[in-house]
Amino acid sequence: MQGKRILLGVTGGIAAYKSAELVRRLRERGADVQVVMTAAAREFIGPLTFQALSGRPVRTDLWDSAAEAAMGHIELARWAEAVLVAPATADFIARLAQGRADDLLATLCLASAAPIAVAPAMNRLMWANAATVANIEKLRVRGVQILGPAEGAQACGEVGEGRMLEPTELAERLEALLPATGPLRGRRVLITAGPTRERIDPVRFISNRSSGKMGFAVAQAAREAGAEVVLVSGPVALPTPPGVRRVDVETAEAMHAAVEAEVASADIFISTAAVADYRPAHPSGQKIKKTSERLQLEMERTIDVLASVAARPNRPFVVGFAAETESVEHNARAKLLRKNLDMIAANEVSHTKGFDCEDNHLIVLWREARRDLGAGPKIALARELVQLIANSYAEAHEAPGTVSA
């Protein structure tokens, strides 16, 4: 964060007192912080506090004649490398979702090309209200990062979801949103993660035990390495890594469609998803009743998302995953060759390994080489894997016409 220019918006919630600590945490990381306060925020905490902590005069008014003589709000919008609104009240979230420009902070958000993040803070019922839910979804679709909220005791005496994240966590998550330096800087990485669900009837489906944790760890590691990351995820209960754009899907067909919509502009494709190989050929439109001792399902093959990407003309660098229960390396290398991949990461899965665990054991294979990364936390393995991918990608592009490292 050294030297990064952060515009911190403070709106009128009781959590505004935490924003003073947030300024300190950002400054500790070397960031240059400009605070912009709404009128309501000034009812909770004074601008002088933020001026003392940031070393910059606080901006509060769209109609500041001195600042606006030089189009100050446009100047500020161009200055910012990231915009964080913390706390973000229900009112401000609604105005941002509507595209309002009725005060300085809202106007800056509209006028800035920098990444925007909001840290919601409000009563649990306000957070759960349908209007707030719809506004948050609008912002997500537009690429605004939603940081939090946390769950716990609230100033009103109630307990639930709606607390602003703590300043240290916000500083860490904001750092991940900033344009990064690293071996994948300037590269676009497309990743699939999680399981797919294939419908039997309206209430039942066929799936697998994939939690998506490995794929989400790879997405985080790729973002840390400087890449622009798009994550196509099956149904999982995991937060989106900061700075990553997420596309949610359910079926293998939907995952293929999402990948097809993104892959043309991808430099690297990493397939960690456990896509269903088969689906019911004739899913029932109504719930199947328990009327017989046996039920037979006719199954048909799903589309092979990984193979379809590897077979594209002008394809990206393609990395597959192989989750095996036996002959791990043998089966993984056969998959590498059969699907014409550039690299594959193999791991053994069973009732106690691989699936829905915090740890994993990866063996990485190329056409003529292997690297055993050993066992460890998935995020640590993901960082090692991403470094290998970055190295192999660079080598492949130094030698035109090669398809593997």
User: Which DSSP letter does residue 355 get?
Assistant: T
**Cα 331 to Cα 343: distance, rounded to the nearest angstrom:** 14
Of 24-33, 61-70, 149-158, 279-288, where does mean pLDDT reach its minimum? 61-70
| Rounded CA separation 87/378 (Å) | 32
155: number of Cβ within 10 Å: 12
87 burial class (0-12, 13-18, 19+ CB within 10 angstroms)? buried
Question: What confidence score (pLDDT) does residue 352 get?
Answer: 53
- As annotated, the active-site residues are 156
d(CA 12, CA 39): 7
pLDDT at 50 over 90: yes
Give 223's pLDDT tier (boundaries 50, 70, 90): confident
- Which option is the CATH number for 188-398: 3.40.50.1820, 3.40.50.10300, 1.10.1740.10, 3.40.50.1100? 3.40.50.10300
Q: Rounded to an integer, what distance in angstroms lies between the CA atom of residue 86 and that of residue 163?
A: 11
* pLDDT-wise least confident of 109-123, 198-212, 293-307, 344-358: 344-358
pTM assigned to the model: 0.66
What value does the mean pLDDT of the chain take? 88
Distance separating the N- and C-terminal Cα atoms of the chain: 33
Tell me whether the omega of the peptide bond preceding residue 149 falls within 30 degrees of 0, making it cis.
Answer: yes
CATH 3.40.50.10300 domain span(s) along the chain: 188-398
CB atoms within 10 A of CB 110: 13
- Of 70-84, 220-234, 298-312, the range with the lowest mean pLDDT is 70-84
Chain-centroid distance, C-alpha 234 = 13
Note the pLDDT tens digit of each residue in 135-147: 999 888 787 889 9
| pLDDT recorded at residue 69 | 44
The confidence score (pLDDT) of residue 73 equals 66
pLDDT of residue 224: 83
pLDDT at 159: 84
C-alpha angle 294/298/304, rounded to 5°?
140
| Non-local CB neighbours of 384 within 8 Å, separated by 6+ positions | 362, 373
Asked whether the predicted pLDDT for residue 317 surpasses 90, the reply is yes
CATH architecture for residues 5-177: 3-Layer(aba) Sandwich (3.40)
Give 231-268 pLDDT, tens digit per residue: 999 999 888 887 788 999 999 999 999 999 999 999 99
pLDDT per position as a tens digit, 155-196: 878 888 899 999 999 998 888 777 667 899 889 999 999 999
CA–centroid distance for 323 within its chain: 23
- DSSP code of residue 314: T
Residues 6+ apart with CB under 8 A from 121: 13, 14, 15, 86, 87, 88, 89, 148, 149, 162, 163, 164
State the span(s) of the chain assigned CATH 3.40.50.1950.
Answer: 5-177
pLDDT at res. 134: 94
* pLDDT reading at 354 higher than 70: no
pLDDT confidence of residue 67: 53
Q: Is the pLDDT of residue 23 over 60?
A: yes
